[in-house]
Amino acid sequence: MARIVIGVDSSTQAAKALAVDADTGRVLGGGRAPHTVTGTGGARESDPLQWWQALQDAVAATGHAGRAEAVAVGGQQHGLVTLDADGRPVHPALLWNDTRSAGQAAALVEELGPAAWARRTGSVPNASFTVSKWAWLRDRRLTGRVAAVRLPHEYLTERLTGRPVAERSDASGTGWWDGHGWDEGILGLVGLDPALLPPLQEPGTPAGETRGAFGGLRPGTPVALGAGDNAAAALGLGLGGGPGAVHGRPVLSLGTSGTVYAATRGRPADPSGTVAGFADAHGDWLPLACTLNCTLAVDRVAALLGRDREAVEPGGRAVVLPFLDGERTPALPHAAGLVHGLRHDTTAGQLLQAAYDGAAHTLLAALDRVLGAGGESAGDAPLLLIGGGARGHAWQDTVRRLSGRAVQVPVASELVALGAAAQAAGLLTGEHPAAVARRWGTAAGPVLEPVERDTAATERIAAVLAAGAPLLGGG
């Protein structure tokens, strides 16, 4: 009889759960329940209680909750959950893409200097980081009733087990973790009592056991530590240590946001702030660059043009920088979109292709820095293309044309949930979770051969970025 584990991805938009055979990696069932995001301008908020209900609904929908032998949760990074003394949310959770704390981020960087931030925490904070969001709440005197501070997946894991616990991958995105523990100097700088934070736990150890029949899970089901979403996806691809370790393999994730990352043995520290020095979930590192505007921004441009998202056309010299929600990389939190170089003969399809090019260019420009920050590269190994956009031909062709690299598109989907499931399986078998995923063959998929790199397009985009910097910095 199959040993079943369940992995959960609590993302910005929804909770998704997979029931997986721990021995073979076969997905036996899945479930999904939506989240609501509210806010205008730079605000992006959600109700953590809705996450908890959605998790239970998604787990129940797998049809295998009652047989699960272990469970784990991967969750969106950086989000700030504030709880009162009874464990109830004091405020809606501030999400990773809430940019209202851009001013606080800039002030924090000025206070210590970017080099000190990179040395101490591995990253230079921006509006996405939890430390900036806490400073924003503090500056508005909204922290008085806060008795506990959690990240999204920490909150959900604690609801499952009744035990507060933190782990390294998500902790590395807060701005107050120094690679070993909480940096009390930084906590003092933003007025956050370390007693409000959960204790850190070693990778591979259990977070606890379920204390109720949540979503149909049996009480007493082992719960793994979980991870931040990018670290969980890296596990889901089998990246990192253990037998047959995979380091330096580049990943480009095309979702609402876009990310590039790789699992490395070296700790990253980029004082420019382009590369975030994140940890992976099991002892290695995960240098990463992230953009706010990816598939959603390009889809919005397609809608404005009245075209299907795949209806691109070659040619033309227009440049589109689709910074519709501000931008994280480059650090332009108040930016708006920019169109440059329109001509009478520019077609709607060419303009849409330019939006794809603009969104992909920033990620690809950061890729070498990501690999350099971690000190490792897998050479000419195909770029792993994942996320909702990875199956779109326009995205595949754009990435190949602008990178000049071969691209591999894994057949497996819901990689965050799959990585969480690999963590849960590791509790049962004692294996490294990345080794579990490699045994499952999760990264397998077709390889698209490289094409000649379109240097003319990349040079055009780079020139417009440089020339348009004063306009892009506005709001």
Residues 6 or more apart whose CB falls under 8 angstroms from that of 240 comprise: 234, 246, 247, 263, 280, 282, 283, 284, 432, 434
Q: Which of 383, 380, 381, 389 is nearest to 402 (CA)?
A: 383
Report DSSP state, residue 178: -
C-alpha to C-alpha distance for 463 and 448, rounded to whole angstroms: 29
- Beta-carbon count within 10 A of 468 CB: 15
The token duo for 239 is 């990246």
C-alpha to C-alpha distance for 59 and 17, rounded to whole angstroms: 6
Q: Which of 9, 98, 183, 229 is catalytic?
A: 229
Active site (annotated) includes residue 229:
yes
C-alpha to C-alpha distance for 446 and 411, rounded to whole angstroms: 8
Handedness of CA 233, 236, 241, 246 (dihedral sign): negative
C-alpha to C-alpha distance for 414 and 391, rounded to whole angstroms: 13
C-alpha to C-alpha distance for 85 and 188, rounded to whole angstroms: 21
Q: Annotated catalytic sites, by residue?
A: 229
